[in-house]
Structures are given as C-alpha cells and as structure tokens.
Amino acid sequence: MGKKITIYDIAKKLDITAATVSRALNNNTKISEATRELVIRTAKEMNYEQNKLAQALKSGKSYNVGVIVPRIDSNFFASIIRGIEEELYPKGYHVIICQTHDQEYLEIGNINSLLNAQVDGILMSISNANLENNESFKNLLKKNVPLIFFDRKKDIKGVSSVTIDDFKGAYDATQHLINQGCKRIAHLSNDRKLLIFKNRYLGYKQAIIDNGLEFDESLVIETQSKVLEGRKTTKILLDMENRPDAIFSSSDFTALGAIEEIKAHGLRIPEDICVAGFANEPFTKFMELSITSVDQSPIEMGRLTAQVFLEEVNNSKKIKSEKQVVLTPELMIRKSSQKLKID
C-alpha cells in the first residue's frame, strides 16, 4: 500500500505552508482564486483524499443525513428520497437510507445506528408499529440532532414536519365519487392510529355527511396497503346484501386489489362500481383501466423536507423550530371513476 498523501506533502511540493493548503482546500476566502485552483489541481494529481472524520470534528458537522422510510420498494418513498437528495447533494451532504419494514425494533435500531454515525440530522416517515413509544425520539432530541418528519408523522413538541393535506385529498376524492352519482361509498382504510390514515378516513366521512348521504360505518374496513388485502376486503363488500356503488381506498395498492375483485365478480368499472385510490402510483395511469388517485407530490415533499432540515441545521441561534409544512393534494381523475363529465 502506498504512502497516504497529506497536506504537508502538497505544501512541500508547492513550497507553501500547510495552513495555506488547508485553507485552499476548504474554500477559505482569504486565499486567492489562483492559489486555490493550484492547490486543488495538485491535490488531485497527487491523489490526495481529505480526512472526512477530521473535517467533521473540526466543523462539528459530518455532512451525513439519515433518511428513514417504511420501505424503499415504493415509488412514493423512492421519489421522496430523490427529492431529498436533489436538495442536499449540491450542499455537500450525503444521504444514508434506512428502512423499517414497519417494525419497531428496526426503527429504533436505525435511529441508534444513525446517531452512532454522527449524522447531522434524521428525516423520517414513522412506522405504524411504534405509535405509542416516544422514547427513541426524545433521546434523539436530547442530543440536539434535528428531526424532521415527512408523510407519516407524530405530533412532538419541537419537531418539524412536511406532509400533505390528507383530509382534503380524501374529501376531494369522495366528493368526486358523489358528483359521479355514487351514493353508497365504501372506504378501504389502514391503521387509523397513523395520522395520515385517520385524516383520510375523516375527510371521506365529512364529504359523505356534507352531501346529506347516510354515513354507514359498516362500509369502512381497515386493511393493509397490499393488492391481495384489497381483494379480500372488496369481496366482503361485494357479498353485502346492499353492496356499495363506489370504493375510495386510502392506498392505490388496495384500490388495484379492489378492481381485480370487482372484475372477478363480473361487474363493470365504473358503470357498476367506481374506484378511487390515494398516492398516484405510476401504475395508476398506465393501466388500460387507469385509476383515479390523489397525487401527493412526493419529490416536492422530499425537497421541502430537506429545506426544513437545512434551515434548522444552519440556525446559528440553535432555537428549536416546529415548522409544519402542508402540501395541497391534487385529484387525478381517470377511467376507474369517470361515469360522467369531469367535475
């Protein structure tokens, strides 16, 4: 293994001080542009690598940021991560991605691992398995590490979040189904202990009430965001004596399962039953029977989450902020619900 090049080797070759080399490599404004370019060019020629750990100890920043998501094999979370990276990479940050698979022990382990890695902040969408335990978040805040929630969040004092208006998204989707002439609208929900699913349920319920329709709790079924679960729960609905004429799902995956089950029963979409989902996953618009869905602007959500982090980490006064950024959803109306003209 060859000798590791240091700033002293560069200084010796250029006949300047090591301090000048260090300042040039760190873009110190006291160093002329010509000297800075010469030092950087020489450092590259000599295959010099800066000691990131030493830089972190000196600056108090590692320039690493942890991102925790329930899963990365989802277009929604992958798009959020893309937005975060697009905002942070130009600022010199690197992103460390962890996933929880909605398991409490993985979520806690991810947080502890990222803290041990000396990350400058943690941006996360919480799992649905750790809804009662706040200890891991409290320990994180005690260490003065910025914590930003996106999409799935908890209301914790001193913690900022970037979310979408889930209530409005669900209300608009349900209102659209009502405008199409639907009167008995079912809702495929998810664990309503999570705020996003609770708010989607409340938006759906309010639209039913505001339009003078009867709210029937038996038409609301909690399930997981999976295609197979969508089929199972839809079968229950279709076996009812008075089956629904529309289904609003809190997830595009359960909406897809609902469509498969409705077709298996020989029913037509949207003529017999209208279907709408939530998230605007890519498959919803590319299917032959395109699916109406609520768009959540995930890339924008990621960028805004990164911007909130940068505001906090660059706050010289070290005052804990509690910024609540709420994006406006957009209903994408497609074939699965469009019996009449677009509302």
Domains 62-163+298-326 and 166-296 share a fold: yes
Q: Which residues 6+ apart lie within 8 Å of 200 measured at CB?
A: 166, 167, 169, 170, 189, 250, 278
Give domain limits for the chain: 7-50, 62-163+298-326, 166-296
Could you name the CATH architecture of 166-296?
3-Layer(aba) Sandwich (3.40)
Give the closest residue to 148 by CA, choosing from 318, 297, 312.
Answer: 312
> In the numeric block, which tokens belong to residue 248?
């609003």
| Domain 7-50 part of CATH 1.10.260.40 | yes
Q: How far apart are CA 107 and CA 113, in angstroms?
A: 10
Q: How far apart are CA 58 and CA 231, in angstroms?
A: 56
Give the mean model confidence (pLDDT) for residues 27-55. Answer: 81
Cβ distance 188 to 250 under 8 Å?
yes
Chain centroid to CA 29: how far? 38
- What does pTM read for this prediction? 0.82
DSSP for 205-248, written as a single string:
HHHHHHTTPPP-GGGEEE--SSHHHHHHHHHHHHTSTT--SEEE
> What was the pLDDT predicted at 1?
46
Q: Which amino acid is at 136?
A: S
In total, the chain counts a number of residues equal to 343
Band of the pLDDT at 343, cuts 50, 70, 90?
low
Q: What is the pLDDT of residues 166-202, one digit of tens each?
A: 999 999 999 999 999 999 999 999 989 899 999 999 9
In this model, does residue 316 exceed pLDDT 80? Answer: no
> What was the pLDDT predicted at 2?
58
Assign 306 to helix, strand or coil: helix
Write down the mean pLDDT value for the chain: 90
Higher pLDDT, 211 or 39: 211
Q: How far apart are CA 226 and CA 304, in angstroms?
A: 28
Q: What is the pLDDT of residues 65-90, one digit of tens each?
A: 999 999 998 899 999 999 999 999 98
> What was the pLDDT predicted at 314?
84
Give the mean model confidence (pLDDT) for residues 154-174. Answer: 94
Band of the pLDDT at 58, cuts 50, 70, 90?
low
For domain 62-163+298-326, give the CATH number: 3.40.50.2300
282 C-beta neighbours (distance < 10 Å), count: 12
> What stretches of the chain adopt beta strand conformation (E)?
64-69, 94-99, 121-124, 147-150, 160-164, 185-189, 220-222, 246-249, 274-279, 292-295, 324-327, 330-332
